[in-house]
């Protein structure tokens, strides 16, 4: 069982610790094994961290960022005592490898760049390993704090009595904290605003079916699981009052890259007059990317589409495109909930106002 710790924000409840630093290693809840098995991995080298991120043993943009930050601490700890310049060169190489593990989630790049800036500030006779561990722990703590701010702000957007649709998994598993979109839903549930949740299955990796339902069950929040293609029908029947998702990268104009299928949900929500919200920490906003067209979209192995848990569902050799993410144009997004505030269109201006306000 994952270690359960008292939840300050919700006395009497316990919270999930999917990422922890423990005795010189990263203790990581393996998300590929959920919901059937709750198995923790112990990562001791930066190479193991890169592999865990690539294989999606940890996934979700902020959770990848937190893990990579600890990964940089592992890299610093393993470098020994060489001269400062050579330590920084080796760390830079580790940071590049880590950042390339998954290309779309900008939190990964953000976290390793922050760790590099911290490394550059360590005094020549300072302890690089200890300093980077302290910085990684700060990244982790700040992730939880920003999740809680988003939850408080976002919950106010949900009308009492709503059934809320969400996609992929955006809870504690996806951030190592409280969650982004699912954190908002969780807080709104505690405030009595949410009647229930509709979770999309999220083909092909089934983050909704496997992970979101697992988290909602632990939290005692009522939910219904649907196949991705059922969302439009449910919306047209009036069974959904609001949709809320996370983000892997938000461009300066408010276009949002998120789990494949998000763009279709946003269009369906617009057609059915349902508000569509995005919740993401400001570290997911990439002001250096002008629009969604400039966001690199990860493509993953074809077996994720042609097989389900090792069982083929298509003929061998079937040609496949397996885009992990899509881009939702900002015109479909009613509001973006960040830890620095809730912003609305025109996003170019409203996001720019948040720069430097953290
Ligand atoms: O491929 P994944 O599972 O890492 O994709 C995750 C998502 O798309 C989430 O919606 C996003 O990272 C925001 S989660 C806090």
Atom of ligand 1 nearest to the CA of 179: 15
CA of 89 to the centre of ligand 1 (A): 31
Q: Which residue has a Cα nearest atom 15 of ligand 1? A: 170
* Domains of the chain and CATH, by start: 6-147 (1.20.120.420), 157-355 (3.40.50.10470)
Cβ neighbors of 226 (< 8 A, separation 6 or more) are: 198, 199, 200, 201, 234
Which of helix, strand or coil describes residue 230? helix
Looking at residue 9, its pLDDT comes to: 47
* Dist. CA 331–CA 118, nearest whole Å: 37
CA of 86 to the centre of ligand 1 (A): 35
- Of 239, 242, 236, 235, which Cα lies nearest the Cα of 158? 242
CA of 145 to the centre of ligand 1 (A): 19
Q: Is the CB of 324 under 6 A from ligand 1?
A: yes
Enter the pTM of the model: 0.94
Atom of ligand 1 nearest to the CA of 105: 12
Looking at residue 349, its pLDDT comes to: 97
Q: Is the CB of 206 under 6 A from ligand 1?
A: no
* Dist. CA 137–CA 116, nearest whole Å: 15
Contact in structure between 128 and 162 (CB atoms under 8 Å): no
Looking at residue 358, its pLDDT comes to: 72
Tell me which of 19, 57, 60 to substitute to probe ligand 1's pocket, judged by most ligand atoms within 8 Å of the beta carbon. 60
DSSP sequence for 107-127: HHHHHHHHHHHHHHHS-TTS-
Per-residue pLDDT of the chain (358 residues; tens, 9 = 90+): 344 444 544 433 446 799 999 999 999 999 999 999 999 999 999 999 999 999 999 999 999 999 999 999 999 988 776 678 888 999 999 999 999 999 999 999 999 999 999 999 999 888 999 999 999 999 999 999 999 999 999 999 999 999 999 999 999 999 999 999 999 999 999 999 999 999 999 999 999 999 999 999 999 999 999 999 999 999 999 999 999 999 999 999 999 999 999 999 999 999 999 999 999 999 999 999 999 999 999 999 999 999 998 999 999 999 999 999 999 999 999 999 999 999 999 999 999 999 988 7
CA of 104 to the centre of ligand 1 (A): 10
Of 248, 255, 286, 339, catalytic: 248
CA of 256 to the centre of ligand 1 (A): 12
Atom of ligand 1 nearest to the CA of 62: 15
147 is catalytic: no
Q: Is the CB of 175 under 6 A from ligand 1?
A: yes
């Amino acid at each position: 069982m994952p270690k359960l710790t008292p939840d300050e924000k919700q006395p009497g409840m316990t919270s999930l610790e999917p990422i922890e630093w423990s005795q010189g290693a990263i203790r990581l809840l393996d998300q590929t094994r959920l919901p059937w098995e709750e198995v923790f991995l112990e990562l001791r080298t930066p190479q193991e961290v890169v592999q865990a991120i690539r294989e999606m043993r940890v996934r979700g943009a902020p959770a990848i960022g937190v893990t990579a930050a600890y990964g940089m601490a592992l890299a610093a700890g393993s470098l020994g005592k060489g001269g400062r310049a050579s330590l920084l060169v080796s760390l830079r190489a580790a940071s590049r490898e880590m950042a390339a593990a998954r290309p779309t989630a900008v939190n990964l790049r953000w976290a390793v760049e922050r760790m590099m800036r911290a490394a550059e500030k360590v005094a020549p006779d300072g302890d690089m390993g200890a300093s980077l561990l302290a910085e990684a722990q700060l990244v982790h703590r700040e992730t939880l704090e920003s999740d809680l701010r988003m939850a408080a702000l976002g919950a106010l957007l949900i009308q009492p009595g709503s059934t809320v649709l969400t996609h992929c998994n955006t809870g504690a598993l996806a951030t190592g904290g409280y969650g982004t979109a699912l954190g908002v839903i969780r807080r709104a549930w505690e405030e009595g605003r949410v009647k229930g949740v509709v979770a999309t299955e999220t083909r092909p990796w089934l983050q909704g079916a496997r992970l979101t339902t697992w988290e909602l069950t632990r939290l005692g929040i009522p939910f219904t699981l649907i196949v991705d293609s059922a969302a439009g029908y449910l919306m047209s029947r009036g069974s959904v009052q609001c949709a809320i998702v996370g983000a892997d990268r938000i461009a300066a104009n408010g276009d949002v890259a998120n789990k494949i299928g998000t763009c279709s949900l946003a269009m369906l929500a617009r057609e059915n007059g349902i508000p569509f919200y995005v919740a993401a920490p400001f570290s997911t906003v990439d002001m250096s990317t002008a629009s969604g067209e400039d966001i690199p979209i990860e493509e993953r192995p074809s077996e994720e589409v042609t097989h389900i848990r090792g069982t083929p569902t298509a003929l061998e050799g079937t040609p496949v495109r397996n885009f992990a993410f899509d881009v939702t144009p900002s015109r479909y997004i009613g509001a973006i909930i960040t830890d620095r505030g809730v912003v609305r269109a025109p996003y170019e201006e409203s996001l720019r106002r948040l720069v430097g306000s953290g």
